Amino acid sequence: MTIAVNGRVDTVTAPELEAGLKFGDATCVVIDLANVPYMSSAGLRLLLSAHKTMLGKGGELQIANVQESVREVLDITGFSDILNLV
Amino acid sequence: MTARRSLNLKLACSVLAAFLLSMAFSWFLHDHLSERDAYALIDRTFDNVQDELADCVNERLVLVCMAAREALEDGHPDDPVSLMKLAHELRVTEISVADEKGDIVRSSVTEYLARPGKPAFNFATTDDEAAKEMMGLVDGRYTEYCQPFRRNPASGNWRKFIGVWRHKGGFFEIGCDAHALQSLARSTCVDLFRNWHVAGTGGIVVTTPSGLVLSDYEEPNREGTQFQEPDGTLFYWKRKEIESFPVYVMIPKGSAAVQRDVLVGATATLNGAALVFVALLVGFVISAFVRQQIRAQAAKEMKMATDIQLSALPKVFPPFPDETRFDIWASMETAKEVGGDFYDFYFTGQDRVLFLVADVSGKGVPAAMFMMRAKTLLKSAAQTGKPVVQAFEEVNNALSEGNSSCTFVTAWAGELNTRTGHVTFVNAGHNPPVVIRGGKAELLKSRPSLALGAMPDIHYRVGEVQLEPGDSIYLYTDGIVEQPDASESLYGEERMLKVLLDPVRTGKDVLDAVLDDVRRYSAGVEQADDRTQLLIRYRGEPDVVSHEYVPTMEDLARATDDLAAALESVPGKAKNKLLVAADEIFANIVRHSGATRWTLSVVLTHHPEGVRLVISDDGKPFDPLIHRDPDTTLSAAERDVGGLGILIVKKTMSPVTYRRRNGNNILSIGKDYGD
């Protein structure tokens, strides 16, 4: 399944995104960040949590279409090495 | 210098002493050696004389013995009396005949013969080994046998015995005492003694026991135990009796000493050369050591001077992180021999900043000390709020007073009004600075006043210049413009002005560009003087928007919106980074600070364009900059998101500063995003 995120991800918007990240029985989830201009560590927490959940289920989480500003934050924090960026 | 000379004198004296000592040692050594050599030569000569004289004597006596054998075998009576007669005829001392068992059966000496109660002398059983050897004539080992001239152990007489074999078994023997031996052998052997010489002028003297000289060597006069030539030459000598002949072998001392003199001479030359070499070497090593000590001392002093100079200068840039109306950058590169340059800048009022560059005359520690004094005096005078010109006049009087060393300091100081961009300046004999504006770099010429410390009670002229936002003033010392290249021509102002025109971004880039250009220009030439420069850029009044919030999620959302609105004109990339960084800080304040209120100021700065966010809260003290960064290399399972927010702020923003002031945490983060 694919979940498309729209808009910035920060302390204000993260709870809303967290509520939307429901994967059900899916074993392969793609989170599409094409429309996310920037993301703070509040968003990183959600991505890490989702990644761990999918790993626990034996499934896979993919992060797609990462924009430049988001990419920079992922690089600084070392998350690019952990997450499956496609 | 005096110490060096006395050192050299001492060195020369020790070398001379060492030379004389070694020569004396060498002389005694070689004297001893030549004496030893002389006696060794004398001993070898005796061996030689012994062999030749024995051969000569033996040859003669064997013939006499054969004559005795012939007579006796021809029937000469052999009773003792007849044998005595025969011996007398033959001029020998005794004659005996032994049988094949070694018993003396006939003899001119009756004691040898068997008597009642006493057997005859028997050669085979005697204890006398030399006598026993005569049995070789019986068993066929010899046909003739000669004993050396010696004291006979049985009789105690000096004798030489010669034996020849007897046809019907046994042998004939003759014995000669010294007198007999000499009368038989002297005439035969006298030829032998002719032309016997030893060691050049040395000689062999063969005499008879009565002192008659047989050899042709002219015997020197005997003086007690010494032989002496008429010319005073003394001899090494030895006496030995060989086959009854007293023989002297003698070597004149001068002749033996020739070798010594040659050796000592050669040693002297070699020693002299070696000692001169050693002296030169030791001298070189000592002077190198002294020079090295002096150099080390000088280097230490230079290091001290450099340390004094550098320690006094503000070195953290940007020095005023919250300051948005101007930028200031400065650098100093000290020469090997420190030149006493300095730069300085400080606020002299709320909106007034003083900046200056100065150069103390002279070099080394004294210049560094003077520089410290000048710098401290200027700062304390200027920070009382006095106009810069008044500060200069006071400092000049203070420095001139009792300035016996005539050290002075050139300085150019400007005071910028950070609200208006107006600069008032004083030039105390310093190089004119450069004003960079509107794509031009021009020297700010003004009639300079006298250098500080040169003479008291000077009135300093005040200059003025108006800066517009984006304009810069560049200060420098002569270490920049007067740096020579390999052909001794100076770097000069033209080259400097050209570099200053290059559109470079930060103040640091400008200063680096000039230094690089000077270094390129003077490649391979030592730095002549300290290179000191300072650049101040007036940025003008920023646009500031401020809001106050309470620590709730609602206000956090409001602050985010306010910030996004304030940054509307900012390019997207920089804006996103600022929004992310701000979100991290906002979240920290709302969740963890325990604050009751917090504020956000958005400062849009100009020339170059940039943003400062100043965020303050009245919560518990928290300096994010001193917290350790999280480990970003752990695996997903090990990771959590703690600390990542601050890491993101530190990595994406510059400058980031924190202060705790009046119960508030004040965090300032910024970004310049281009001119």
Nearest to B636 among A12, A51, A73 (CB): A51
Q: Kindly state whether residue A67 falls inside one of the protein's structural domains.
A: yes
B2-183 and B312-538 in the same fold: no
The structural domain count of chain A equals 1
The pLDDT score that the predictor gives to residue A32 is 95
pLDDT the model gives residue B522: 92
Residues 6+ apart with CB under 8 A from B33: B260, B263
Share of chain B above pLDDT 90, in %: 37
pLDDT at B245: 82
Is residue A15 a part of any domain in this protein? no
CATH code, residues B312-538: 3.60.40.10
User: Which residue on chain B is closest to A75 by alpha carbon?
Assistant: B632
Q: Is B587 on the interface with A (CB under 8 A)?
A: yes
Q: Is A30 inside a domain boundary?
A: yes
Domain boundaries, chain B: 2-183, 312-538, 543-672
Interface probe for A, chosen from B579, B583, B627, B656 (most Cβ of A below 10 Å), is: B583
pLDDT > 70? residue B664: yes
Which residue(s) pair with B442 in the sheet?
Answer: B435
Q: Read off the pLDDT of residues B140-151 as tens digits, 9 standing for 90 and up.
A: 888 889 988 888
Predicted complex ipTM exceeds 0.85? yes
- Which domain does A63 fall in, by range? 2-7+26-85
Which residues on A lie below 8 Å from B577 (Cβ)?
38, 69, 72
**Nearest residue in chain A measured CA to CA from B573:** A69
Task: Tell which phi-psi region holds residue B443, choosing left (phi > 0), alpha (psi between -120 and 50) or beta.
Answer: beta
Architecture of domain B543-672: 2-Layer Sandwich (3.30)
pLDDT exceeds cutoff 90 at B524:
no
Contact A10 B583 (CB under 8 A): yes
Chain A residues with beta carbon closer than 8 angstroms to that of B573: 68-69
Q: What is the pLDDT of residues A24-67, one digit of tens each?
A: 888 899 999 999 999 999 999 999 999 999 988 889 999 999 99
What mean pLDDT, rounded, does chain B reach? 86
- Residue A62's nearest CA partner among A72, A70, A54 is A54
> Residues for chain A: how many in total?
86
Kindly indicate the confidence band of residue A72, based on its pLDDT and cuts at 50, 70 and 90: very high
The fold of B2-183 is Beta-Lactamase (3.30.450)
What is the pLDDT at residue B321? 78
Give A37's contacts in chain B (Cβ within 8 Å).
572, 576
d(CA B44, CA B385): 111
Q: Are strands B202-206 and B245-252 parallel, antiparallel or unpaired?
A: antiparallel
What pLDDT does B675 receive?
42
Nearest to B576 among A37, A76, A78 (CB): A37
Q: What is the mean pLDDT of residues B455-478?
A: 94
Q: How far apart are CA B143 and CA B141, in angstroms?
A: 7
CB contact under 8 A, A55 and B636: yes
Closest B-chain CA to A77 = B632
Q: Which residue of A has its CA nearest to B587?
A: A11
Among B108-122, B345-359, B591-605, the minimum mean pLDDT is found in: B108-122
CATH of the domain at A38: 3.30.750.24
**Upstream peptide bond of B608 is cis (omega within 30 degrees of 0):** yes
Residue of B553, B583, B632 lying closest to A78 (CB–CB): B632
Residue range B222-228: mean pLDDT, rounded: 70
